[in-house]
Structures are given as structure tokens and as C-alpha cells.
Amino acid sequence: MPATAIEQPGAGAVPRHVAVIMDGNGRWAEQRSLPRTAGHRSGTRSVRTIIEHSVRRGVEALTLFAFSSENWQRPADEVGILMQLFLEALDREVAELDANGVRLRFIGDRGRLAPALVERMLAAERRTAEKRKLDLVVALAYGGRWDLAQATRQLASLAAAGSLAPAAIDETMLAGRLTTAGRPEPDLFIRTGGDRRVSNFLLWDLAYTELWFTDTLWPDFDVAAYEAALQDFAGRQRRLGRTTAQVRGK
């Protein structure tokens, strides 16, 4: 799969793959004197909106950062409610995702998740496996460093077993062992909630991704806010290491 899909952007260019850090649920709730978990609940509505609009706009893949390796450090009751929310969302939404042609996949350290949740995740993946309209990837208990470490462990095991020469390890081979393998790298990264950092999301995959940050809190992220990011992307020039003249074909 090529590293990036859109090498000649311009009016109307749609990112093939959009990756999102959905930040600001807690602050949205605090501003309304609600418990933080009310923000997460409200955030599930934005998840639905962005999935539907991605299908409408012809985005092929959407990766959502739902729970990071670092989020385990949050208060136990917030972690518990988030896990419950993921479970409920799966039970509630999978039939509709399936009916709308969405393939659901999860990336992250499943060993840290409750067996009941992992079971539901597997069932959802199996059920939607043949769907092609949108590849929806939910990063759960995921960290970019975790992914790089697990890929490295796989290659090291092969090398230790004598079935892989260390000198043969290259970028393509490493990328092929990441949990994100097999999809185009993200063309557009969106982070809501005002912070301007990548926070251990798709570290390897974001190398050439266009970054978009907005102060909008995730529960307020609607079609208009998503469109603003898509429109901005359409106007960007992606040189991918080349000169402007080369990109223009001169």
C-alpha cells in the first residue's frame, strides 16, 4: 500500500484515511457542571456523526483514538465507566454499522481489556469483516510506542529463531508487523480539545500526515467542524520530500 494516497491535492481532494484524537469530553462536561462521564456519553454522539459523514464524503478509513495506553492511569471509576460505554456502544451500534457497510476493527493491547469486551470486539470484527464502504478502526488500550514494541518483539523472535536475518529488516517489514498494517497511512490527523500534540497515537503512521488541530471540544465536533478540517486538507500541498516544482510536474 502506498504511504500516502493523495500526492496531488487540490480542490476536492478527500483524504483516504482520517485519524482522530477525540479530546475534550471531560472539559465539555465540567463546563456544564456535569460528571466527566457525561462528556464521554455525549462524545459517542460525535462518533456517530463523524462516521456517517466519513461515509458520505467517501473517506475510506477512519481511525479513532478511544482509549490510550496512558488512560489506564485515570481514576478507576472513570476507566470502568469508559469500558462500560464501549461495551454498550458495541451492543447498540454494530448492527447499524454492519447494515451501512462499515467494517469495524480494533487495534491495541487486548490483553489488558476485560474478556467480555474482547469477546464482543471479536464478534463485531467477524460480523463486519466483509464490509467495504468504510474501514472503521477503534484504537483501544492503544499506544504508538506499544505498537512499535510489539512489532519489534515479533521480528526479534523470528531473528532469534533463525528465520530472519537482522540485516533483512527494513521499514516495510517493520510496518508490516504493526497493528495498523494493511491500510493506507493517515492522510489527515484531527485533534479536538485545543492541545497540539500527538500523544502517543499512530507514531509510525503519522510521519507524513497532515495535522489539523481545533479548540472545539469533542462533544461539539459536528459536521461543520469536520468539514472545516476536510476543506483545509483539500487546499494543502503534500510534497512528501519532493520540491514544489516536482509536485507540479515541472
Contact positions with ligand FPP (CB under 6 A) in 104-163? 138
Among 61, 66, 117, 188, binds ligand FPP (CB under 6 A): 66
Contact positions with ligand FPP (CB under 6 A) in 167-226? 193, 218
User: Which of the stretches 2-10, 64-72, 145-153, 177-185 binds ligand FPP when contact is defined by CB under 6 A?
Assistant: 64-72
In the numeric block, the cell 493491547 is attached to 109
Number of residues that bind ligand FPP (CB under 6 A): 21
Give the C-alpha separation, 198 to 210, whole Å: 12
Distances (CA, A) of 63 to 27, 169, 182: 23, 27, 13
CB of 110 to ligand FPP, least distance (A): 15
Give the C-alpha separation, 235 to 94, whole Å: 35
CB of 40 to ligand FPP, least distance (A): 5
Q: In what order do the strands lie in the sheet with 102-107?
A: 102-107, 134-142, 61-68, 17-21, 188-191, 210-213
Residue 23 annotated among the catalytic residues of the structure: yes
The DSSP element (H or E) to which 86 belongs, if any, is helix 76-99
User: Which of the stretches 40-48, 97-105, 116-124, 176-184 binds ligand FPP when contact is defined by CB under 6 A?
Assistant: 40-48
Among 4, 37, 44, 180, binds ligand FPP (CB under 6 A): 44
Residue 100 annotated among the catalytic residues of the structure: no
**Residue closest to ligand FPP, measured at CB:** 26
Contact positions with ligand FPP (CB under 6 A) in 85-104? 85-86, 89
Contact 15, 59 (CB under 8 A): yes
CB of 213 to ligand FPP, least distance (A): 13
Give the C-alpha separation, 34 to 155, whole Å: 47
**Active-site pick, 71, 98, 109, 220:** 71
Q: Examine residue 40 and tell whether it contacts ligand FPP (CB under 6 A).
A: yes
Q: Which is nearest to 175 in space by CA: 136, 204, 209?
A: 204
Distances (CA, A) of 128 to 52, 141, 150, 195: 16, 21, 26, 34
The DSSP element (H or E) to which 148 belongs, if any, is helix 144-160
Residues in contact with ligand FPP by CB under 6 A are: 22-27, 40, 43-44, 47, 64, 66-67, 71, 82, 85-86, 89, 138, 193, 218
Q: Which residues are catalytic?
A: 23, 71
